[in-house]
Homo-oligomer: A and B are copies of this chain.
Amino acid sequence: MPVFAPPIADHLFTLYELLDFESHAQLPGFEHCTRDVIAAVLEQSARFSSEVLYPLHRTADEEGVHFDNGTVTTPKGFRQAYAQLVEGGWPALTASPEHGGQGMPHMVNFLFEEMLNGANLSFGLFPGLTRGAYVALAQHGSAEQKALYAPKLASGEWAGSMCLTEAHCGTDLGLLKTQAMPKGDGSYALTGTKIFISAGEHDLTENIIYLVLARLPDAPKGTKGISLFVVPKFLVDAAGALGARNAVSCGSVEHKMGIHGCPTCVMNFDGATGWLMGEANQGLKAMFAMMNTERIAVGIHGLAIAEASYQNAVAYARERLQGRAPSGARDAAKPADPIIVHPDVRRMLMTQRALTEGCRMLALWTAQALDVSERHGDAEVRAKADAMVQLMTPVVKAFLTDCGVEVANLGVQVLGGHGFIRANGQEQYLRDVRITPIYEGTNGVQAMDLLGRKVLHLDLFHHFAVPVQGFVERHEGDEALAEFVEPLAASFDLLEDSTRMIRERAGLHPEETGAAAVDYMRLFALTAVAYLFARAAEVSLPKSNDAFHRAKLATARFYMQRVLPDSAALHAKILAGAGPVMAMDEAMF
């Protein structure tokens, strides 16, 4: 009964009708991204995801990964599916043509990743981490390092893995202890233990390239003394041939709530040979340079599961017969009506749908700015787009992953008791997606990045405010759009007022920012999605004679009337400030 069919019609709507991808494809390097090519990429992504990856999704959850004396075996079918992934050229979608990549826009790649992870999040993590390692290497690696590793990572023949967290430090990387001692030949010996390393060890590729944060002997304390190293599982000679096994090994794998098909490893570096990547003590900066892409990608994990959960809830709600429609039997010949007739089931499905479509618009709008920030010919346009990406990235990461959990939770509820049964797949979505508000920086950290750094410190709020205010002003007095523009304007006013209020308080009371951050992030995201739904409505109103655009308008209306009212509550909570949050004696908890 569980189903997975990527919503390509909505992908194309979001790309072309909402975000004018025809113009976007005029950016340098995107000349090959014609409508036919993009449609073909999406269709093939959909086929690969639904036909190859989705069938492994339940079995991988039940089987999990196998750990035996340092060796990790992935669930049945993963090796073959990974080989098909590499053969299809999918890992190289956004990689540079100079490394054998296809140079596709982030906008398209994120839609591919939505499908991949919606079909099988455990599987999707492997190529996702490899793409991240490729990006870091392409940005910060030396010419020699790029020559050795970049094409293999771009193609997916070798996998990448990020080694940041240690037992005593996750969020607070300044505490990390892994040591890198110079060996005198330009290489370093790395010693330390990393935990929570996704895909740290596995059998999908013949080599794994670790990007490791560690300290040089003379490094300053804290975050200013962290350097980035590239450490291959098997050493590679100048010709690219695999040599000796490096002194890095998997000590154990975690037993966890979800993503059972992807190993979460304890990785031991016992004098492993590595090479400095980028400058000494600039490791965090190098790591964070790729973080925007990575954080949007993790947001996409949330969106992906939301879409998958929504589809399954709809399929169940159409089939399951219980009770009668409130206005009388819909199908009197049957013993009962399908539960989709019940208003409360509709409310849940519409909430799932509105959040999912909203998340997709938010991610692609941000990805558009990311492409522009990398590709545009005009440096000023690039810088402006980059500021936009800086501002929106934590919102995408946090809001999409929060919505992933909310939507998956609703999906379980739509199925009732059947939602709690493993075979029906809905509870797995909730278990799998639950890590996404945590990894790649918890959503609390994202909220502090948005409010403390991007809004208060870097003063980037106007990059969001200007387009929204422009849209609202342009449509003042537009009666047809008023039902969308007015709630947007009201929510934006609350956001602006919150921004002003927190700015006033933050200097006086250092706790105000942290106490407001998560509510502020949510208010920001709800407003941004309202803006995008209002734009979607603008595009759809003239086309409301077809069912797709009528559905888009219905979803936008639902969002404005039944989701967006939360803005007022968030504003009130922000207004209450840090006082009630911090008042209680710590001993009394």
Contact = CB atoms under 8 A, between A and B. Distances in A.
Interface in A520-565: 547-548, 550-551, 554-555, 557-558, 560-562, 565
Interface stretch (A41-49, A66-74, A100-108, A342-350): A342-350
A493 interface: no
A570 B562 CA distance: 9
Interface residues of A, number: 98
Interface string A556-589: 0110111001111110110010111111111111
A443 B550 contact: no
A586 B326 contact: no
A427 interface: yes
Contact of A568 (B340, B448, B568): B568
Contacts of A442: 413, 416
Interface stretch (A75-83, A111-119, A373-381, A432-440): A432-440
Nearest to A328: B510
A417 B430 contact: no
A227 interface: no
Contacts of A547: 585, 587-588
A586 B422 contact: no
A437 B420 contact: no
Taking chain A's interface residues, is the majority helix, strand, or loop, or is none over half, making it mixed?
helix
A39 interface: no
Interface string A448-490: 1000000000000000000000000000000000000000000
Nearest to A348: B444
A422 B510 contact: no
A142 interface: no
A335 interface: yes
A335 B172 CA distance: 10
Residue with the greatest number of chain B CB neighbours at <10 A, chosen from A347, A413, A514, A566: A347
B256 A427 contact: yes
Interface stretch (A18-26, A121-129, A163-171, A238-246): A163-171
Nearest to A587: B547
Interface string A151-170: 00000000000000100111
Contact of A323 (B172, B557, B558, B579): B172
Given A442-B413, A572-B568, A584-B551, A349 B589 contact: yes
Contacts of A570: 565
Contacts of A437: 413
A200 to B, nearest CB: 14
Number of copies: 2
A581 B346 CA distance: 6
A344 B580 contact: no
Nearest to A426: B257
A225 B565 CA distance: 44
Contact of A581 (B327, B350, B417): B350
A413 B427 contact: no
A555 B572 contact: no
A25 to B, nearest CB: 29
A511 B417 contact: no
Residue with the greatest number of chain B CB neighbours at <10 A, chosen from A420, A573, A580, A585: A580
A326 to B, nearest CB: 4
A205 interface: no
A347 B584 CA distance: 11
A416 B257 CA distance: 13
B327 A510 contact: yes
Contacts of A583: 554, 557-558
Interface string A499-521: 00000000000111111011000
A172 B322 contact: yes
26 contacts: A165-B417, A171-B322, A171-B416, A175-B335, A257-B430, A326-B510, A342-B444, A343-B517, A344-B514, A347-B518, A405-B409, A413-B444, A416-B442, A431-B431, A550-B584, A551-B584, A551-B585, A554-B585, A557-B583, A558-B581, A558-B584, A562-B581, A565-B572, A565-B576, A568-B569, A569-B569
